[in-house]
């Protein structure tokens, strides 16, 4: 699978540059027991990964792979952030 990395158009929302727009979105919402490796690999190459992860953490996204992290990984990141701020 070859994905094209392109910046968002000027004035466009960052999410328009997300690589996930080029693949089946179901990849990012794995069913129980399904590997997240492919989705994670795409996220790791995504030019807007940081923005995506920050947004998912900010809204407490309850499902899916966002910014390369699973729900549990995002929950852990939020917990670590809270502990660091305490």
From residue 28, how far is each of 9, 34, 38, 40, 42 by CA, in Å? 24, 10, 9, 8, 10
| Closest residue to ligand SF4, based on beta-carbon distance | 18
Interaction between residue 66 and ligand SF4 (CB under 6 A): yes
**DSSP one-letter string for 21-77:** GGS-GGGGSPPTT---HHHHHHHHT-TTHHHHHHHHHHHT--SS-BTTB-HHHHHHH
Size of the site for ligand SF4 (CB under 6 A): 14
**Which one of 18, 36, 69, 74 is in contact with ligand SF4 (CB under 6 A)?**
18
- Tell me which stretch binds ligand SF4 (CB under 6 A): 5-13, 30-38, 45-53, 74-82: 45-53
The yes or no reply on residue 48 touching ligand SF4 (CB under 6 A) is: yes
Site residues for ligand SF4 per CB under 6 A: 15, 18-20, 28, 42-43, 46, 48-49, 52, 66-68
């Amino acid at each position: 699978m070859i994905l094209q990395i392109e910046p968002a158009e000027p004035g466009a929302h960052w999410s328009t540059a997300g690589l996930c727009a080029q693949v089946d979105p179901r990849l990012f919402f794995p069913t129980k027991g399904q590997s997240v490796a492919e989705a994670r690999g795409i996220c790791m190459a995504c030019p807007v990964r940081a923005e995506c992860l920050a947004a998912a953490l900010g809204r407490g996204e309850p499902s899916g792979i966002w910014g390369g992290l699973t729900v549990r990984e995002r929950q852990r990141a939020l917990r670590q952030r809270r502990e660091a701020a305490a």
